Amino acid sequence: MAQKKHEQSEFTVTDRRLFTSEGELRSDVPEEAEQAKPAPPAAVADNTASGVRPAAPTLEKSDGGGDPDVPPPPTSAEQDAQAAAYRQSSKDLDSQVELSGRSAKEFEMTFERFMASLYMTAMLQLGLMHEQGGQPRIDIIGARQTIDTIGLLAEKTKGNLTAAEQNFLQNSLYELRMAYVEVTNALARPPQPGPATGTTGR
């Protein structure tokens, strides 16, 4: 019995996930989790093949080191396994789409479609577009963040876009920045007095 308790005490189960199931950052993430006993090589290989990553090792704190709560990036083998599983899952979905009578190419993500989705998001946030039957809703902070995201993409993708993609990005960014300035100016402008009512004596 004592030996069984001793064996059980060698393992510590620690939830090292940074986010909750709702996608929110956990507030109770431990700063430094205890190191778990390394799994046998066979078990690690099985987990990688099935798409489950083994528990990340604890990162020691140091003066010039990184954040100990951030797990290391996946290995090349793990990335390859996940990419293959993703491609297979996408292929299965495409087959179902084709069976429904539609072309799977309609749902393929391209750079232009990605930029168009960001453009539409910003226009909705500026209140310049709205869903059918709905009322315009302005989210000026969200609009600025979306426009800044497009600006960041413009910086990070320099030299990697086709002429058509670059033109689409620059036009979208120009139009959104202009619209943002117009909306913010309109919001800052004091309300104009309405037309005078009543009659005036002569």
So what's the pLDDT on residue 125?
Answer: 94
Question: Which sequence spans correspond to the domains of the chain?
Answer: 109-188
pLDDT, position 14: 57
Q: Mean pLDDT of residues grouped by 10 in the chain (202 residues)?
A: 51 57 58 46 46 51 62 92 92 88 86 94 92 86 97 95 95 96 90 62 50
What pLDDT is recorded for position 162? Answer: 95
**Global pTM value:** 0.56
- For the chain, how many residues are written? 202
What sign for the dihedral angle of Cα 67, 28, 31, 10? negative
Predicted confidence at residue 84, as pLDDT, reads: 94
Ramachandran angles phi, psi of 77, nearest 5°: -65, -40
